Chain A
Amino acid sequence: MSNRRLTFKKRLHILKHHFRDKKMAPAFAAFHTFLFTPDETTHSGAHVRGADDLKRTMNMVILALVPVLLFSMFNAGYQHYAAIDVANNVSRELSLWENFLTWDNFWIGIIKVLPLVVVSYGVGLGVEFIFAIIKGHEVEEGYLVTGMLVPLIVPIDTPLWMLAISVIFGVVIGKEVFGGTGMNILNPALTIRAFLFFAYPTWMSGDKVWVYEAVERTGTADAISGETVLGALAQNNLAELNYSVSDMFFGFIPGSVGETSTFLILLGGLFLVFSKIASWRIMLSAVIGSLVMGYIFNVIVDMGIITEYSNFYGLMSFEYWQHLLVGGLAFGIVYMATDPVTGSQTNRGKWIYGFLIGFLSVMIRVFNPAYPEGVFLAILLMNVFAPTIDHYVVKSNIKKRLKRLKNATILPKDSDSKAEELKAETV
Chain B
Amino acid sequence: MLEHIELFFKSIFIDNMVFAVFLGMCSYLAVSKKVATAVGLGAAVIFVLAVTVPLNWLLDQYLLRDGALAWLGPEFADYNLSFLSFILFIATIATMVQLVEIVVEKFSPALYNSLGIFLPLIAVNCAILGGSLFMQSREIATLGLAFNYGVSSGIGWFLAILAIAAIREKIRYSNVPPPLRGLGITFIITGLMGIGFQSFGGMLTGGSEEEAPVLEKTAAAKVEEVEVKENKKEIDEKEISYNDAINK
Rounded to whole Å, the gap between the CB of B235 and the closest CB of chain A is 37
* B118-169 with Cβ < 8 A to chain A: 162-163, 166-167, 169
A317 at the interface (CB under 8 A from B): no
The answer to whether B210 and A310 have CB atoms under 8 Å apart is yes
Cβ-Cβ contact count across A and B, 8 Å cutoff: 102
B248 at the interface (CB under 8 A from A): no
The answer to whether B199 and A371 have CB atoms under 8 Å apart is yes
A214 at the interface (CB under 8 A from B): no
The answer to whether B175 and A179 have CB atoms under 8 Å apart is yes
B73 at the interface (CB under 8 A from A): no
Residues of A within 8 A of B169 (CB): 387, 391
Q: Which of A183, A191, A369, A383 contacts B205 (CB 8 A)?
A: A369
Q: Which of B35, B191, B198, B204 contacts A367 (CB 8 A)?
A: B204
Query: Which stretch (A13-21, A107-115, A217-225, A372-380) binds chain B?
Result: A372-380
Rounded to whole Å, the gap between the CB of B1 and the closest CB of chain A is 13
B209 at the interface (CB under 8 A from A): yes
Give Cα A380–Cα B196 distance, bound, in whole angstroms.
5
The answer to whether B192 and A387 have CB atoms under 8 Å apart is no
Residues of A within 8 A of B192 (CB): 173-174, 185-186, 191, 384
The answer to whether A368 and B163 have CB atoms under 8 Å apart is no
Give Cα A365–Cα B75 distance, bound, in whole angstroms.
54
B25 at the interface (CB under 8 A from A): no
The answer to whether B177 and A185 have CB atoms under 8 Å apart is no
- Count residues on chain B whose CB falls below 8 Å from chain A CBs: 34
- Count residues on chain A whose CB falls below 8 Å from chain B CBs: 36
Rounded to whole Å, the gap between the CB of A239 and the closest CB of chain B is 20
* A269-287 with Cβ < 8 A to chain B: none
Given A177-B176, A367-B206, the answer on whether A194 and B189 have CB atoms closer than 8 Å is no
Q: Which of B35, B174, B180, B200 contacts A368 (CB 8 A)?
A: B200
The answer to whether A312 and B195 have CB atoms under 8 Å apart is no
Rounded to whole Å, the gap between the CB of A54 and the closest CB of chain B is 16
The answer to whether A178 and B195 have CB atoms under 8 Å apart is no
The answer to whether A385 and B163 have CB atoms under 8 Å apart is yes
Residues of A within 8 A of B167 (CB): 185, 384, 387
Residues of B within 8 A of A226 (CB): none
A296 at the interface (CB under 8 A from B): no
A198 at the interface (CB under 8 A from B): yes
Rounded to whole Å, the gap between the CB of B170 and the closest CB of chain A is 4
Give Cα A360–Cα B171 distance, bound, in whole angstroms.
26
The answer to whether A388 and B196 have CB atoms under 8 Å apart is no
Given A185-B189, A310-B210, the answer on whether A390 and B166 have CB atoms closer than 8 Å is yes
Residues of B within 8 A of A384 (CB): 163, 167, 192-193, 196-197
A57 at the interface (CB under 8 A from B): no
Given A180-B175, A183-B171, A312-B206, the answer on whether A194 and B198 have CB atoms closer than 8 Å is yes
A411 at the interface (CB under 8 A from B): no
Given A173-B188, A368-B200, A380-B195, the answer on whether A391 and B166 have CB atoms closer than 8 Å is yes
Give Cα A185–Cα B191 distance, bound, in whole angstroms.
12
The answer to whether B209 and A387 have CB atoms under 8 Å apart is no
Give Cα A390–Cα B35 distance, bound, in whole angstroms.
12
B226 at the interface (CB under 8 A from A): no
* B82-101 with Cβ < 8 A to chain A: none
A302-329: CB near B (< 8 Å → 1, else 0) gives: 0000000011100000000000000000
The answer to whether A177 and B188 have CB atoms under 8 Å apart is yes
Residues of A within 8 A of B185 (CB): 177-178
The answer to whether B196 and A364 have CB atoms under 8 Å apart is no
* A369-427 with Cβ < 8 A to chain B: 369-371, 374, 377-378, 380-381, 383-385, 387-388, 390-391
Q: Which residue of chain B has its CB nearest to the CB of A195?
A: B195
Rounded to whole Å, the gap between the CB of A175 and the closest CB of chain B is 11
Taking Cβ atoms with an 8 Å cutoff, the residues of B that contact A are 35, 162-163, 166-167, 169-171, 174-177, 180, 185, 188-189, 191-193, 195-207, 209-210
Other contacts beyond A178-B174, A180-B175, A383-B196: 5, CB < 8 A: A178-B185, A194-B198, A198-B195, A311-B206, A384-B196
Among all A-B residue pairs, the 9 with the closest Cβ atoms: A377-B199, A179-B175, A387-B166, A311-B206, A183-B174, A388-B166, A380-B196, A179-B174, A381-B196
